[in-house]
Amino acid sequence: MSVIYLIRHAQASFGARDYDKLSTLGEQQATQLGTTLSFLKPDLVMSGSMRRHQQTASLAGFTAEVDPGYDEFDHQELIVAHKPAYKRHTVMVADLARSGNPKRAFQEMFTAATQRWIDGGDGYSEPFQAFCERSEAAVRRTADRLGKGETALVFTSGGPIAAVVSRLLSGGDGLWTKLNPVTINTAITKVVSGRAGLTVVSYNEHVHLGADLLTYR
């Protein structure tokens, strides 16, 4: 039996023009993750192609091979498909600021935008079902490369992890919508590969993070 650890990237730069890089807190999370994983000698280390994936792997002390199948969905595309005016970042920022609670307003808007994507709305380069299939296929590719008793670390995002877990647990789209928002930065999900195929053993483990390092976004 082989083991795959799916690791969500550390905190990225939420709210910034360039989201795809770790925040200062994210760098601390990734370093702490490395301390926790220092006992592991993985046979394979993979990551998505996004900078936040590779930065997390590097700061945790690992050199990762890139598989774009582990990339997150395009959240900006979802937002623009839902609200075309938000193609201009300044318009979105100003609109959310007028709500009086920008963080809550963003979450409500993004939840609606994500649901439109799941429901099969138009305007997307990658439909929701295709995204889930891509994520699952990436994990299966990784599993196929592992021999008996071998271990892989995968640095990816919350969306692909939720897609893999919801599919392996036969939870469908409804489970994905519940898992994706609560996937914690640098949390670890364990999947084993054996005669029965792929099995989820644990999800969203984050005991390595203290209260001061715990973030969801």
Q: Where are the domains of the chain?
A: 2-71+127-205, 75-118
Tell me what pLDDT residue 87 has.
87
Tell me what pLDDT residue 6 has.
98
Tell me what pLDDT residue 7 has.
98
- Residue 46 CB neighbours (<10 A): 26
The CA distances from residue 171 to 65, 131, 157, 166, in Å, are 30, 16, 19, 5
Tens digits of per-residue pLDDT, 189-217?
Answer: 999 999 889 999 999 999 999 899 999 98
How remote is the C-alpha of 165 from its chain's centroid? 12
* Intervals of the chain under pLDDT 70: 14-18
Tell me what pLDDT residue 16 has.
59
Please provide the CATH number assigned to the domain covering 2-71+127-205.
3.40.50.1240
Tell me what pLDDT residue 158 has.
97
CA-based nearest residue to 44, from 151, 119, 197: 151
CB crowding 189-201: b at 16 or more within 10 Å, else e: bebbbeeeebebe
Tell me what pLDDT residue 19 has.
75
